[in-house]
Amino acid sequence: MTSAYLNIRNITSFQTILDHFKRLKNNDIISFFDYDDNIINVNNGEIIEPDVTKELFNYMIKNNIFFAIITGRFSDTVCDDFKRNLWIMQQNIIYTIYPTLMKLGMDVSSFLTEESKKTIHKIFNDKHECVGVIYMGIFFTGKKGETMKNFIKENNLTYKHVFFIDDYEPYLIESTNSFPSLIAYRRMYP
């Protein structure tokens, strides 16, 4: 068992995250949430634990906690200018991700502008290799740890507590390997 694996904590409820956030200074927290099977159940499109999930997102919004959605969707093409299809990504965001985020209290209007729809921000590692992109406010990547670490570095962000919540173990292991100070949680819902 690797040390990266040992750094992953299991949770069954976002209540654990909410309680943890309430014990910390809000301006010291940045959190990244996987979307599929973490916020929504991909089998039925419903928000998992809707009351607790809404309470968590409302708490983050009210207290100005930096948070972002990070997904493995389109991970095989996002960094390739010739294979990436912004129109398909845009439709996916507008019709699957944003409706859920709006139910959770987020205002996504600033990401629906024409400028936002045609702007993609690539995130690079130290070797100047693209590791992920931000499009319409959503992080897309197959290398979540590298993407989070380099986004924070690129923007000179200083947070004492960087959280990552995902249900998929390979992403969690990659993330804790590439970003050892990351506080990683595996979301396991019944």
- Residue pLDDT, tens place only, 159-177: 889 999 999 999 999 999 9
Specify the 3-state DSSP secondary structure of 33. strand
Tell me the HSE value of 186 on the side-chain side, using a 13 A CA sphere.
17
At residue 6, the pLDDT reads 64
Which of 2, 3, 70, 1 has its CA nearest to residue 30? 70
At residue 2, the pLDDT reads 52
How many Cβ atoms from other residues are within 10 Å of residue 73's Cβ?
Answer: 18
Mean pLDDT per block of 10 residues along the chain (190 residues) reads 69 96 88 96 94 97 96 96 95 97 97 95 97 98 96 92 95 93 90
How many Cβ atoms from other residues are within 10 Å of residue 148's Cβ?
Answer: 27
Which of 172, 171, 177, 173 has its CA nearest to residue 73? 171
**Spatial separation of the C-alpha atoms in residues 60 and 24, rounded to whole Å:** 12
- The domain 3-187: what is its CATH number? 3.40.50.1000
Which of 102, 131, 136 has its CA nearest to residue 119? 136
Alpha-carbon torsion angle 40, 45, 49, 53, nearest 10: 50
At residue 26, the pLDDT reads 74
pTM score, whole prediction: 0.94
* Amino acid symbol at 92: N
Q: What DSSP designation does 182 have?
A: -
At residue 5, the pLDDT reads 56
